[in-house]
Amino acid sequence: MGIAAIGIGLLLYAGTAGSGRVPIRQDELTIPAWEALWTKVLERHVDDAGHVDFAGLARDHHDLDRVVAFVAAVDPVSQPQRFPDRSSRLAYYLDAYNALAMDGVVEAGVPASLGGWRKFVFFYLQKFAVGGKRISLYDLENDVLRPMGDERIHFVLNCMVVSCPRLPRTAFTAKALQRQLDDARRAFLAERRNVRVDRQRHEVWLSDIFAFYTRDFLDHAPSLIAYVNRYRTSAIPPGFRVRFYEYDWTVNARARVRRPAV
């Protein structure tokens, strides 16, 4: 297959995702009702280890459709009166990102992986409706969420692959957001797949998330080791070499993945 044909195929793939969804009225749900609906989806289709029942979602996605349709109509830009403070805006965008990523995987037919060419399509080319405008997941993260200045978002944003942080089973809310983000950070740093110290080799292995977003973490600490040490009971020596786990882009489908709940 020629490069031109591949390019056309990628554009068609990106352009069809999410098409045909029935719009939702902007006044149909309150923000608390929308959060409750998203929590319902999470509780039904996500287990305690963060694995997603995509097979079940593919069969019954009515509630997820409503969650995503609301995001398409409402956001802090289009409806600022619904989001009176920073916490309400941040909580909404975090929930919206995770819901759109989940929906995107379902719409794509639950591929085995989002690596390779699918990464480019899924995160860069594919556009999702947010508050009446179209935006990619990449731009939602980098142009909307990261500028809000809270590095803890990287412990909760979930693009539905194995190396992402564990997907929570409840929605983020303005009232509980600070506790939720602190809890997520502690849980992330406690997992061996994200932080592993090899004292014999004088090395520390970190999730590739720390490599992707080093700048965000260094805004809050002089080094990655210093940042991690703030939330550990056993300090990592500052002279240890930092290495990064290779990111696993396998889709985090419950039937495929049996990641240990460390």
Q: Which amino acid belongs to residue 127? A: K
Mean pLDDT of the 162-166 span = 97
Kindly tell me if the per-residue pLDDT of 23 is higher than 80: no
> In this predicted structure, what is the pLDDT of residue 255?
72
Tens digits of residue pLDDT in 97-119: 999 999 999 999 999 999 999 99
Tens digits of residue pLDDT in 54-80: 999 999 999 999 999 999 999 999 999
Tens digits of residue pLDDT in 48-58: 999 999 999 99
Tens digits of residue pLDDT in 231-262: 998 999 999 999 999 999 999 998 755 444 34
Do residues 262 and 192 make contact, with C-beta atoms less than 8 angstroms apart? yes
Strands 195-198 and 203-206: antiparallel
Q: How are the residues of the chain apportioned to helix, strand and coil, as percentages rounded to the nearest 5?
A: 50, 10, 40
Tens digits of residue pLDDT in 188-214: 999 999 999 999 999 999 999 999 999
